[in-house]
Amino acid sequence: MDPELTIVIPLYNEVENVDPLHAELSAALDGIGRSYEVIVVDDGSRDGSFECLKAVHAADPRWRIIRFRRNFGQTAGFAAGFSAARGAVVITSDADLQNDPRDIPRLLAKMDEGFDIVSGWRVHRKEPFFSRRLPSLLANRMISGATGVVLHDYGCSLKAYRSEVVKTLRLYGELHRFIPAVASWMGVTVAEVPVNDRARRFGQSKYGITRTFKVLLDLITVRFMLGYSTRPLHIFGGLGLISGGLGLLAGLYLTIVKLVLGQNIGNRPLLLLAALLIILGVQMISMGLVAEMVMRTYHEAQNKPIYVIRETLE
C-alpha cells in the first residue's frame, strides 16, 4: 500500500548531516502514527553523501534515494521528488537540519483543518540580518504583493502539500520557492504555522546575497505565468497600444506644428521619438499575437487544461 506521507529532501554535499537527518526524521515520524516514505534526491554530491545515503537505505527501506548525474539545482530536486512521491501528503524540507523535523506534526495538524498547502514560518531566524534576513524580508513582501499569495517566509523549505497539488506542477529554473504562488492558479488554500529555525551545525550554506537578484528575475516569470500565461496578447498588446498611442499623439502634434504653424520639424528629436514609439507599438502587438499562437499550441498539443476541478458531486 502507498504510504500516507512522503518527505522530499534535495541534498547536495551534506555528508555530515545524513546520519543526524535520518535519526531526527525517524524520531519525529515514527511517533506520528502514519505510514511514510522519505525520498532524498542527491543533487550530484561529490563529498561522499551518496555512500552515506546508500547505507541509510540499506538499514531503512522507507528511505528512497534518487541520484542525479550532476548538480541540477534545488528546483530539479523537488521536481524529481514530487514525481516519485506516493503519499497523499508531500512534505518538503532541507537536508542541512536547519528545519526541525519535530515541526512536521504541526504542519499536518494545520492541513487537517482543510488547507491544501501549509508553509513553515521561521519567526526567530538564526541567520545574519543584513546578508540573509533583510533580503529575505524584502523578497517575501515583493512576492506576496506581486502574486497575491501572502506568506511571511517563502524561503522556508519546510512545507506540506496535498499530492494532487504538486503532481500537476511543472517546475523550471529556480521556481521551487514560488510553489505556493505557482499553485495558486488552481485555487488552493494556503496557511502558515510558526516553525523552529536552527543554526547549521555541519557544512556550509549553498546560498548567498546573489540569490536576491535571482528571486527578482524569477518573480517576473511567476507574475507573467499567473496573470498572462493564457492571454499574453493582453500584456504585449497593452504595452503596444500605449507605445503606439503616444507615438501617434506626438506625430499629430508635429503635424499641427508643421501645417498650421509652418515650423520646420525635420530636426526635432520628437519626430524620431514618435516614429520609434509607433514602430515599437507595432512590434509589441505582433509579439503578442505570436505569443498567443505559441500559447495555444502549448495547451492544445499537450492537452493541458486551463482549469482544475476540486471535486464533482453526481
123: left (phi over 0), alpha (psi -120 to 50) or beta: alpha
**Tally of structural domains, the chain:** 2
The answer to whether the CB of 166 falls within 8 A of the CB of 179 is yes
Structure confidence by residue, pLDDT tens digits, 241-259: 999 999 999 999 999 999 9
Rounded CA gap, 46 and 17, in Å?
A: 14
The answer on 260 and 152 residing in a single domain is no
User: 309 is written with which cell numbers?
Assistant: 476541478
Residue 14 inside a domain? The answer is yes
Among residues 21, 99, 97, 32, which one has the least CA distance to residue 63? Answer: 21
How much of the chain exceeds pLDDT 70, in percent?
Answer: 92
Over range 269-279, report the average pLDDT. Answer: 94
Over range 6-30, report the average pLDDT. Answer: 95
Rounded CA gap, 29 and 9, in Å?
A: 14
Domain span holding position 276: 232-301
Residue 314 inside a domain? The answer is no
Residue 183 inside a domain? The answer is yes
pTM score > 0.85 for this model? no
The answer on 239 and 212 residing in a single domain is no
The answer on 79 and 135 residing in a single domain is yes
The answer on 286 and 187 residing in a single domain is no
Domain boundary among 180, 205, 228: 228
Give the pairing of strands 117-122 and 5-11. unpaired
Among residues 143, 159, 153, which one has the least CA distance to residue 110? Answer: 159
Backbone angles phi, psi at 161, to 5 degrees: -130, 145
Q: What is the mean pLDDT of the chain?
A: 88
Residue 16 inside a domain? The answer is yes
Over range 162-189, report the average pLDDT. Answer: 86
Residue by residue, DSSP assigns 76-108 as HHHHHHHHH--SSEEEE--SSS-B-GGGHHHHH
Residue 46 inside a domain? The answer is yes
User: 121 is written with which cell numbers?
Assistant: 514560518
Over range 197-202, report the average pLDDT. Answer: 82
pLDDT band at 187; cut points 50, 70, 90: confident
The answer on 286 and 213 residing in a single domain is no
Residue 310 inside a domain? The answer is no
pLDDT band at 185; cut points 50, 70, 90: confident
Rounded CA gap, 31 and 274, in Å?
A: 70
The answer to whether the CB of 90 falls within 8 A of the CB of 82 is yes
CATH number at residue 198: 3.90.550.10
Residue 306 inside a domain? The answer is no
Domain boundary among 228, 260, 290: 228
Residue 209 inside a domain? The answer is yes
Give the pairing of strands 159-162 and 190-195. unpaired
The answer on 36 and 68 residing in a single domain is yes
pLDDT band at 128; cut points 50, 70, 90: confident
The answer on 237 and 99 residing in a single domain is no
Helix, strand, coil percentages, rounded to 5, for the chain = 50, 15, 35
The answer on 241 and 115 residing in a single domain is no
The answer on 258 and 169 residing in a single domain is no
The answer on 184 and 160 residing in a single domain is yes
Q: Which pLDDT does position 14 carry in this prediction?
A: 93
Q: Which pLDDT does position 168 carry in this prediction?
A: 85
Domain boundary among 174, 197, 228: 228
The answer on 153 and 277 residing in a single domain is no
The number of residues in the chain equals 314
Q: Which pLDDT does position 247 carry in this prediction?
A: 95
Structure confidence by residue, pLDDT tens digits, 211-245: 667 777 778 888 887 777 778 888 899 999 999 99
Q: Which pLDDT does position 310 carry in this prediction?
A: 58
The answer on 57 and 136 residing in a single domain is yes
Rounded CA gap, 94 and 207, in Å?
A: 13
